[in-house]
């Protein structure tokens, strides 16, 4: 069973604090990495967490505000200095590509690897070996997107008695069937559906980026195993959240409850709060399975049936 982890590399909003860097999150599954946003200094956090610079990596940028994107240039330069040779997938608002081209040229970064850029839009924006990524427009002060990262599905539960009844020898052929592949036995084909239960969905991680709530967002994030949501403000500061097109911790919890997610991680905290304990308490009054993200926190995302 593949381990799926989420590591918070930066959990502040707008400006860093002594304990929190700017927004960045790493999702890892075996050799695959997906980075959600790239706040300033993200490459140092990537190195600190042992994530590696030459893995199969995709970067999802939610919007073009400095706290979410300025670290991307440093990351590209550090990857090039480490002689990365694998293509890098980048998804983000269409204007992101122009910004990358202009700034990379001025700074003479000299990439050692190709970039596969996909403009963010509604629907599926990226498919990799391990994941499918979907996007929807967020409600922020600039063009912005929310993402759902969905692990590819698993074959159904394997039933050894069915395999024996079909005279499939134990060992290599069982393993192939468990991986969803047909096998040949005594001149006939045995399909995985004959010895397994219904296919099981992969794990799903939702990321709001910076946003206010709107009806389609809850539906988009429905059923996530982990929801990472903009919690810039405490509920008592809702007027500021509305003005600046962000969410409160209470609104994040209400969306998590409405979307039927399993766990909620609050992040993107305003530097005005020396402690976020009260934000967590308020959110848990609505959605008990809530935690506050912090820089360096690593979470394992389990299968719902594990």
Average pLDDT over residues 148-160: 91
Task: Determine the pLDDT at residue 306.
Answer: 67
Catalytic, out of 37, 56, 67, 161: 67
Predicted confidence (pLDDT) at residue 180 exceeds the cutoff of 90: no
Q: Report the 10 Å Cβ neighbour count for 289.
A: 16
Q: Tell whether pTM > 0.75.
A: yes
Active site residue 67: yes
Q: Of the ranges 36-40, 56-60, 61-65, 300-304, which one carries the lowest mean pLDDT score?
A: 300-304
Tokens 């550090």 belong to which residue? 78
Question: Domain residue spans in the chain?
Answer: 4-153+201-300, 160-194
pLDDT above 80 for 142: yes
**Region 216-237: what's the mean pLDDT?**
97
pLDDT in tens, 114-127: 999 999 999 999 99
Of 65, 44, 120, nearest to 89 by C-alpha is 120
Superfamily of domain 4-153+201-300: Ribonuclease Z/Hydroxyacylglutathione hydrolase-like (3.60.15.10)
Q: What percent of the chain has pLDDT over 70?
A: 100
Query: Read out DSSP for 163-209?
Result: HHHTTPPTTHHHHHHHTT--EEETTEEE-GGGTB-S-B---EEEE--
Q: What is the pLDDT of residues 58-102, one digit of tens each?
A: 999 999 999 999 999 999 999 999 999 999 999 999 999 999 999
């Amino acid at each position: 069973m593949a381990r799926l982890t989420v590591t918070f590399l930066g959990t502040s909003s707008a400006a860093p604090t002594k304990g929190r860097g700017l927004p960045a999150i790493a999702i890892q599954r075996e050799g695959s990495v997906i980075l959600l946003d790239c706040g300033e200094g993200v490459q140092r956090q990537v190195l600190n967490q042992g994530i590696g610079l030459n893995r199969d990596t995709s970067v999802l940028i939610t919007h073009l505000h400095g706290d979410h994107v300025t670290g991307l240039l440093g990351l590209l330069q550090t990857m090039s200095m480490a002689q990365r040779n694998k293509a890098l997938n980048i998804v983000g608002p269409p204007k992101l590509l122009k910004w990358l081209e202009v700034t990379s040229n001025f700074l003479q970064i000299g990439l050692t690897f190709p970039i596969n850029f996909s403009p963010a839009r509604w629907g599926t924006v990226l498919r990799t070996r391990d994941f499918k990524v979907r996007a929807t427009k967020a409600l922020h002060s600039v063009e912005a997107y929310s993402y759902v990262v969905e692990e590819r599905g698993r074959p159904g539960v394997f039933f050894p008695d069915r395999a024996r009844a079909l005279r499939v020898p134990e060992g290599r052929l069982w393993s192939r069937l468990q991986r969803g592949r047909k096998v040949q036995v005594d001149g006939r084909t045995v399909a995985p559906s004959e010895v397994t239960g219904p296919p099981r969905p992969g794990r799903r991680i939702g990321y709001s980026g910076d946003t206010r709530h709107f009806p389609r967002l809850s539906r988009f994030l429905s059923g996530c195993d982990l929801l990472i949501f903009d919690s810039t403000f405490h509920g008592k500061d809702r007027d500021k959240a509305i003005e600046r097109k962000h969410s409160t911790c209470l609104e994040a919890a209400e969306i998590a409850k409405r979307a039927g997610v399993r766990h909620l991680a609050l992040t993107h905290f305003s530097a005005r709060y020396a402690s976020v304990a009260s934000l967590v308490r308020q959110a848990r009054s609505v959605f008990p399975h809530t935690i506050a993200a912090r820089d360096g926190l690593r979470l394992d995302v389990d299968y719902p049936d594990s």
